[in-house]
Chains A and B, each alone.
Chain A
Amino acid sequence: MIPIDFEYYRPAAADEAVRLFQQLSSQGKEPVYYSGGTEIITLARINLFQTRAVIDIKGIPECSALAFQDQKLVLGSALTLSRIYDSNVFPLLGEVAAGIADRTSRNKITLGGNLFSRLIYREAVLPLLLTDSVLLIAGRSGVKQIQIDRIFDRTMQVEKGDFVAAAMTDLNYLSMRYAAVKKRKIAEIDYPLVSLAAIRVDGMIRLAFSGVCAFPFRSRLMEEILNRGRQPLKSRIEEAVGQLPAPILSDIRGSAEYREYVLKNVLSESIRELGGA
């Protein structure tokens, strides 16, 4: 049983959702946008999440979009991870999404929910970072388009009251060679020791990571090092791992030393797979 009480709203339009948020905020109800809701429910059940109002965005058409428009793929933030995988429209995102939680949970977990997760992994962001995807952000001034690397810095940095309605990705990226690797400690369903997504764009390999540090990231500095074709791969990897943006995680799933070992192997395999050795 969830021990807190909250109001439930299901607006049918983005502007209605934003207005509701403002109204409920002014009443001190600390509203939250609700999509799949799996994290809100599980955290609220153990008193780790407080709100007095949830605004369910699943009734907003833009949030459920799965469409091609002006040479871009549009994926609504309320699409479930299973729907994205099953549609096969964005194979890299589908494959990364299929590694999150378990199949039945992915029938509820949504793209937007994963991007805004309180957990440190947020793996669905990796393919969006690699493909310079653009987010449609609904807010008081209407719907803005913002490239994801301008709004994702360790976590999503949207203004209070704004929400992500959809992600748009250039179609050219969808057919590019990619690699997606998720290494876990033992079980097939678990948080990652190392989760890597990579894509080859114009002969250069882009890479993004989750589970390595305390936040997901794409590092252009590491990419620059790893793409130096004349330098031996092993040496590039050693140098790149020295440029991680934060200390390597050390927790119950793996020590920092073990994670580093796994990371180097995953990098080597993925770069070879994409022809960057």
Chain B
Amino acid sequence: MEDREGCQVIVNLRVNDEIRSAVARPADTLLDVLREKLGLTGAKPGCKNGDCGACTVLVDGWPQKSCLVLAVEAVGQWITTIEGLKDTPIQRAFIEQWAFQCGYCTPGFIMNSHGLIQHHPNANDETIKDWLSSNICRCTGYREIKDAVTSVLKEK
């Protein structure tokens, strides 16, 4: 990756099990590169300030707000966006538990919840609350979202 000030660089990202290349500025966030260069618009721009969680993706399996990650930082890491999840238990649970209304926050919540379930299959209420507090739902569907997570954990 060559880097000269003001110049763009070629960033090779491992996204959803594929190597994807993009021309970007070193100052471009992962969120912007995913959406504008790679056409992966599942991660949503909300506050762009690390507060709302709508842009959450998994980086090496851990939820991260892609507005707080530079794309160049993510080179060499495994990035999973909502487009990379196919019929997972948490996606089915969101449908079964009516865990969304307008749907804008949903990809971020699902990515965070998926990360939680992978890392803490026996998560207690305190851990669930701690992790889910990273995301904001303007429609205030928090109860149903928590129910969706809990239902998957119970299945496990």
Contact = CB atoms under 8 A, between A and B. Distances in A.
A5 interface: yes
6 contacts: A1-B32, A37-B68, A38-B68, A105-B68, A107-B62, A107-B63
A45 B56 contact: no
A146 interface: no
A67 interface: no
A103 to B, nearest CB: 5
Interface residues of A, number: 32
Contacts of B130: 98, 103
Contacts of A42: 49-50, 68
Given A29-B5, A189-B133, A104 B64 contact: yes
Interface of A: 1-2, 4-9, 29, 36-38, 41-42, 44-45, 52-54, 56, 58, 82, 98, 101-105, 107-108, 188-189
Contacts of B25: 5
Contact of B64 (A4, A9, A56, A107): A107
Nearest to B56: A104
Interface band, chain B: 20 to 34
Contact of B72 (A8, A29, A101, A103): A8
B27 A108 contact: no
A37 B32 CA distance: 16
7 tightest A-B CB contacts, nearest first:
A104-B134, A8-B26, A102-B134, A2-B27, A104-B63, A38-B68, A8-B72
A108 B133 contact: no
A37 B30 CA distance: 13
Given A37-B73, A104-B134, A45 B5 contact: no
A88 to B, nearest CB: 13
Contacts of B65: 104-105, 108
Interface string B1-18: 001111001000000000
Contact of B27 (A4, A101, A189): A4
Contacts of B28: 1-2
A101 B65 CA distance: 12
B70 A8 contact: yes
B69 interface: yes
Contacts of B72: 8
B48 interface: yes
A136 to B, nearest CB: 23
A8 B3 contact: yes
Given A29-B5, A42-B50, A108 B26 contact: no
B27 A44 contact: yes
A102 B135 CA distance: 9
Contacts of A98: 130
